Structure 1
Amino acid sequence: MSRIAVTITTPDGLCSATLHTPLSAGPAVILYTDAAGVRETFAAMADRLSALGYVVLLPDGYYRTPYAPFDVATVFTVPAERERLTALGRSVPAELAVRDTGAYLDFLAGRAEVAGSAVGAVGYCLGGRFSLWAAAHFPRVAAAASFHGGNLAAADDPDSPHLVAGRIRGALHVAAARNDKAFPAEQHERLRNALVAAGVRHTLETYPAEHGFAVPDNATYDQSAEERHWTALKQLFAENLPRA
């Protein structure tokens, strides 16, 4: 298993990323980070996923906007840092996220390490939206997961993922956090209704943990919920990403 620093050519510039490869060729998975961006915690998560036999791409979704790294321990308690984080997250709307995903898929299609054409996607927090957009816009995405994703079914958002549920052909696993203001009960119900109406194969559940539960450097990290998330992710990808 190894990490390889790579550069992806997108319509908007060069995106730095790491490619996490298993010992032999395997299906590809795109890993979308939370709003605080790429950091060692997510690289370690990509390593763990790669150890299961997947070629994991961890891109810097903020490549258009150079930024100083965030201290996740304090980013939500220091107002100026929280504002900076929010602005950076808003700098990648649906149109750009989808365009980037197309470039990531093109990149993966040319890698000898990748087996098969079906691709997986997994996102956390902000990345949960990216993962669902990927599933809706690219038929190659055969399985997508969102963990403590926010604004997945906002009524006043014209780019809300639930509005493109009818385009999803793969399987979804959506794990919400309890008491999550970014994904309240009405959004949960709205997303469920959209997925059911579209006939999307899905699991939609709420873990007994707070927003950020699956990411080890978050203040709200929950080890039990993290392990539950790994179990769900293994099952989703094992059932939907053939190795040839």
Structure 2
Amino acid sequence: MPRTGVTIGTVDGECAATLHTASAGGAPAVILFPDAAGVRSTFLVMADRLAGLGYTVLLPDVYYRTPFAPFDPATVFDDPDERARLGALVRGLTPDMVVRDAGAFLDFLAGRPEATGEVVGTTGYCMGGRTSLTVAGHHPERVAAAASFHGGNLAAADDPASPHLLADRIRATVLVAAARDDRSFPAEQHERLEKALTGAGVRHRIETYPAAHGFAVPDNATYDADADHRHWAALAELYGAALG
């Protein structure tokens, strides 16, 4: 799939991103939010694949404010220094920053001929899964479908910025595919998110795949091919219904 490097102006600077397209005539847009290790080659390939399903895909460098050396997802959590470096990067990306950036991404897509339609989809992995739902809650008029794959902290009771607290603002159809035995999304969060979305009348599906956290990202040590195949099918179904 064709890729175009772009730069998006935000309140805090300039965010590098890639735009992945499948049709010269334009297609519905999707924003793909990477996992905690950030944009890297595996996410470029994933964005290409998503574009191949018939969408214009924006893959932003969510850490553009803080230049960093790339992480090796297969070993980062086994190295205490690397894990600490990753943790600092994640903590430095606040919910307010995420929401501001999403507004800039949406404005950017609204001005691109490659992106058609009034609404977009979002999807994200790990940390990006939480971002996907957060963006749907803060930009309800623009996000028609929001997916989270092995997302963490989606309904934490002690987090004032938790996505579940935005349920009454979400207009998107929501898909949450959780990982098995995931400490970042335990049973109580699953139940809390289900209750919040149901109570708000949000069209949604929450499933738990029989795979570990990180199942859908090929360069993760916990990658699971069967769960990955299932995730692509679910994503195609979600966007096909909500975006066309």
TM-score by length of 2: 0.98
**CA RMSD of superposed structures (Å):** 0.6
CA shift, 1:93, in A, is 1.5
Instruction: State the Cα deviation string for residues 44-86 of structure 1 (Å, max 9, x = none).
Output: 0000000111000000000001111001111000001001111
Q: Which runs of 4+ in 1 moved over 4 A?
A: none
CA shift, 1:92, in A, is 1.1
State the match for 2:65 in structure 1: 64
Equivalent residue of 1:213, what SS?
coil
Q: State how far apart, in whole Å, the 1-side matches of 2:237 and 2:161 are.
A: 29
| 2:45 is the counterpart of 1:44 | yes
Equivalent residue of 2:29, what SS?
strand
Which amino acid in the other structure matches residue 22 of structure 1?
A
State the match for 1:53 in structure 2: 54
| 2:8 is the counterpart of 1:8 | yes
TM-score by length of 1: 0.98
Percentage identity across paired residues of the two chains: 67
State the match for 1:74 in structure 2: 75
Instruction: State the Cα deviation string for residues 77-121 of structure 1 (Å, max 9, x = none).
Output: 000100111111111121110100000000000001111111000
State the match for 2:138 in structure 1: 137
State the match for 2:195 in structure 1: 193
CA shift, 1:23, in A, is 2.2
CA shift, 1:229, in A, is 0.2
2:148 pairs with 146, 153, 158, which one? 146
1:174 pairs with 165, 173, 176, which one? 176
Which amino acid in the other structure matches residue 79 of structure 2?
V
Unpaired segments of 5 or more residues in structure 1? none
Q: State how far apart, in whole Å, the 2-side matches of 1:205 and 1:125 are.
A: 15
Q: State how far apart, in whole Å, the 2-side matches of 1:116 and 1:194 are.
A: 29
Q: State how far apart, in whole Å, the 2-side matches of 1:3 and 1:218 are.
A: 23
State the match for 1:110 in structure 2: 111
CA shift, 1:210, in A, is 0.2
CA shift, 1:175, in A, is 0.4
Which amino acid in the other structure matches residue 107 of structure 2?
D
Q: State how far apart, in whole Å, the 1-side matches of 2:115 and 2:109 are.
A: 7
Equivalent residue of 1:100, what SS?
helix
Unpaired segments of 5 or more residues in structure 2? none
Instruction: State the Cα deviation string for residues 189-234 of structure 1 (Å, max 9, x = none).
Output: 0000000000000000100000000000000000000000000000
State the match for 1:230 in structure 2: 232
Q: State how far apart, in whole Å, the 1-side matches of 2:93 and 2:199 are.
A: 28
Q: State how far apart, in whole Å, the 2-side matches of 1:122 and 1:182 are.
A: 18
Q: State how far apart, in whole Å, the 2-side matches of 1:87 and 1:195 are.
A: 31
Which amino acid in the other structure matches residue 189 of structure 2?
Q
CA shift, 1:137, in A, is 1.0
Which amino acid in the other structure matches residue 177 of structure 1?
A
